[in-house]
Structure 1
Amino acid sequence: MKRSFFTRCLFIVTLAITSASAQTTISDQETETYVSDKSISTATLGKDYTGSPYANDEFQNGTVYGTNNVLATNVVLRYNVLRDEIEIKSNANASNSEARVLVKSPDIYVRILNNMYVYKTPTSNSDVSGYFLVMVEGENKSLYKKIKKKYIEGKKSINSVSSDILPMYKEIDVMYLVTETGEFEEIPNSRNKRIGLFADHKKEVKQYIKEEKLNVSKDYELVDLVKYYNTL
């Protein structure tokens, strides 16, 4: 990334607060640059399943950003993980039939409550693509999470003692370390291999892990480690 995404976000958040001209609905002509004419998918499996195809079932307050400006504020958004789409409505009271799918572009990203989602397209060096949840944004290394949903078929019980196993959406999270040049590196599960990702400051990183008693096998503690690494 030639320019820190974090720096851009600070600029855009400031702009959102100070700009009185930011879009507040999705009915203006300019929306064609970030809202597609694609309706959202409303197909469900009925009530008898567990999990969810969404990051959150409900539409939540959010903001849509462009590269250097705020595209929409006071809208509601929902991340359809299964389809890897961001859904948008003008407000929470609007019917789902009015909802549309956001245009997929690296130049368009969103904040849903306190979560920032960015979009990446495949490159000649990597097929990593789709929406990513920003866990840490740093000048040297960033930490992104790719949320995936796997649909697992249910099973009928084979006798009167056991119960049916409902179909389910199982969440699978994949963490990526992102370099300052925008390269994505999948983070392995092994503790030692995770530490090895910070080889240029291995001594300091190992000392910090020891002092803070971090379990870097846990994704949420990996967040602390990446934040620390960016101070070195």
Structure 2
Amino acid sequence: MKKYISLFVILLFSSAGLYAQSIYDLRNAIDFYEMNKISKGEYRNSISERDIEGSPYLNDEFTPGTIYTYQKIQYNDIPLRYNIFNDEMEFQTPDEQILAIAAPEIVEKAVVGENTFSNIPYELGNKVKRAYFILLFEGKLSLYARPEVIYKKPKEAAAYAEPEPAKFIKRPDIYYLRLNQQTAVRIESKKDLENFFTNHQSQMESFIKKNKIKPSKEDKMIELVEYYNSL
């Protein structure tokens, strides 16, 4: 169980003039904690991590990071970690409480160590949702990685099988392409690539074939995005 808080108060700082700014209003960690003080916590049911093998986190340890909001506020030196399973950015307070940002829609990006997490819209079937993605390459066409962790339920002992504890299992990253400010599109096959590129289609198809681009290979996907942005 984790205590969740809302960052809705930050919205009070937004205004037409603030949105027009090209730079961020710099704030420190103390300001961030003060903005998120609450008198009563909110709780949500979730899977307890106790006695579960593996980890739901990209990195178990908290790393000093920076949060950028769409209201052009920048909070520095926040201990952050990304919970892959819950798709949540967690932070640790000075009194070692572990909290999660409950209004990620106001977060433009979070820089944690060497990773930049962008909170962007993406296609899921016929719906559009938002989630955190790791930015791999930014340009007219951008490339993102979506880490994935699945939860495997525990198994009781059977006649010829030992019991198995519950587990968090890390899956290969899934790659997404985003053209300009449109929704990000999941790319898992060559067919997905062919369907994605409606501009420069013949050039892209030729490049994909010649360079043996595979959607599961990060380095190849970066090559592809760099080429498209050069056209």
When the two structures are aligned, how many residues end up with a matched partner?
203
8 Å Cα contact 1:40-1:101 kept in structure 2 = no
| Percent identity of equivalent pairs | 24
In the TM superposition, residue 63 of structure 1 has moved relative to its aligned partner by 0.8
Task: Compute the displacement of 1:210 (Å).
Answer: 5.0
Q: CA RMSD in A?
A: 3.4
Name the structure 2 match of 1:155: 155
Contact 2:105 2:130 in 1 (8 A): no
Secondary structure at 1:182's aligned position in 2? coil
Q: Point out the structure with the larger strand share.
A: 2
Q: Which secondary structure state, in structure 1, belongs to the residue aligned with residue 204 of structure 2? A: helix
1:64 aligns with 2:67: yes
5 Å-filtered alignment, 1:1-232, equals 22-25=26-29, 27-28=30-31, 31-32=34-35, 35=36, 37=38, 44-47=48-51, 49-67=52-70, 69=72, 71-89=74-92, 94-97=94-97, 99-102=98-101, 103-120=103-120, 126-139=127-140, 141-159=141-159, 162-172=161-171, 173-187=173-187, 189-210=188-209, 212-232=211-231
Rounded Cα–Cα distance in structure 1 between residues aligned with 2:43 and 2:222: 33
Distance 1:43 1:198 in 2: 40
Residues 69/207 of structure 1: CA separation in 2 closer, same or farther (3 Å cut): same
Q: Which residue of 1 aligns with 2:15?
A: none
For the residues of structure 2 that align with 1:171 and 1:135, how far apart are their CA atoms?
19
- TM-score normalised to structure 2 length: 0.69
Question: Structure 2 stretches of 5 or more lacking a match?
Answer: 1-21
Tell me which residue corresponds to 1:5.
Answer: none
Distance in 2 (CA, whole Å) between partners of 1:86 and 1:129 is 13
Q: What CA distance in whole angstroms lies between the structure 2 residues aligned with 1:30 and 1:154? A: 37
AA aligned to 2:50 is G
Preserved CA contact (<8 Å) 1:65 1:71: yes
Tell me the secondary structure at the aligned position of residue 199 of structure 2: helix
Q: Which runs of 5+ in 1 are unaligned?
A: 1-10, 16-20
**Are the equivalent residues in 2 in contact too, given 1:79–1:85 (CA < 8 A)?**
yes
* 8 A Cα contact 2:177 2:184, kept in partner: yes
SS at match of 1:22: strand
Deviation, 1:106, is 4.2
TM-score normalised to structure 1 length:
0.69
CA–CA separation in structure 1 for the residues paired with 2:165 and 2:222: 34
Q: Any conservation in 2 of the 1:106–1:118 contact (CA below 8 Å)? A: no
Contact kept? 2:61, 2:81, Cα under 8 Å: yes
Letter of the 1:74 counterpart: D
Q: Distance in 1 between matches of 2:137 and 2:54?
A: 26
CA contact (8 A) 2:122 2:185 kept: no
d(CA) in 2 for partners of 1:196 and 1:122? 16
